[in-house]
Amino acid sequence: MKILVDSGATKANWAAVHEGRILHQLQTQGISPYFLSDEGIVDVLREVKRSIPEPVQELHFYSTGCKAEEQRRRMNQLLRLMFQEATTVHVETDLLAAARSMAQHQPGIICILGTGSNACRYDGSQIVETAGGLGFILGDEGSGAAIGKDLIRSFLNLEMPENLRAELNEQYHLTRDNILQSVYQLPYPNRFLATFAPFAHQHRHDPIIKELLDRQFNLFLKRCVLLLADSQHLPVHFVGSIAQYFQEEIVRNAETLGLHVANIQQDPMLGLIQYHE
């Protein structure tokens, strides 16, 4: 039996498969080695072991925060500790998961738009060039966290029309103090900011929100995608919840920049299962 894992900053999707057939599926909190301690990661892995008791021969773990060799080694050690029966354990980035899922063995540009954002050029086998992935403070343009940050900044600075302010406050019960505490003092401020993306989707045709969304996706495409070689000549694939829910806005902005959007999917798992058959 193989276990395939696709983890972002907010959630991780797990699938136990045998000969292309899904035996178990579950969802846990996201496992990013930059945000979780060893103890926190082991707690999540114990939860998985309870749900998937059968012996595991192969484990393919793809996650945000696993680009650095040090973090990949750390995750590999923790996975081997909890899945000692596994003869094969591979730890790779969520970008490679998206690339293998969306493009399989064909070259293309791969973009992730979820809680965070990044992009890469894939040669059909490996990632050969990357852009973005700087986190919500330095980057993550077009992501849920960046959209939420723009939205909350507009709310706090009284730039948002009163009708939108009132509706946002009614849905989220916001105060200046609880916003600042969530961003600067509590864990996972990126996840907190990303919780406002559904409000942006709900009001995406409002002129203020439309401008915000176009600005974010335009920034992402210019700062990440267009920096990659041959981006205007290769198919561009998008993965993630933000990509799924804002397809219209993404395609509109991509076309104005001469980019060809080939495919948009929320979840790469089915493509990953196909790749690992």
Q: Given this model, what pLDDT does residue 9 score?
A: 74
Residue ranges of the chain whose pLDDT lies below 70: none
pLDDT at 236: 97
pLDDT of residue 34: 75
**Which of 60, 56, 49, 48 lies closest to 89, judged by CA?**
60
Where along the chain do its domains lie? 2-98+270-275
Within 10 A of 235 (CB to CB), how many other CB atoms are there?
Answer: 16
Give buried/exposed letters for 131-161 (b at 16+ CB in 10 A, else e): bbbebbeebbbbbbbbbbbbbbebbeeeebe
Q: What is the model's pLDDT at position 30? A: 87
Instruction: Enter the pTM of the model.
Output: 0.84
The DSSP code for 115 is: S
Which superfamily, per CATH, for 2-98+270-275? ATPase, nucleotide binding domain (3.30.420.40)
What is the tens place of the pLDDT at every residue in 264-273? Answer: 999 899 999 9
pLDDT at 277: 81
What's the confidence (pLDDT) of residue 65?
A: 80
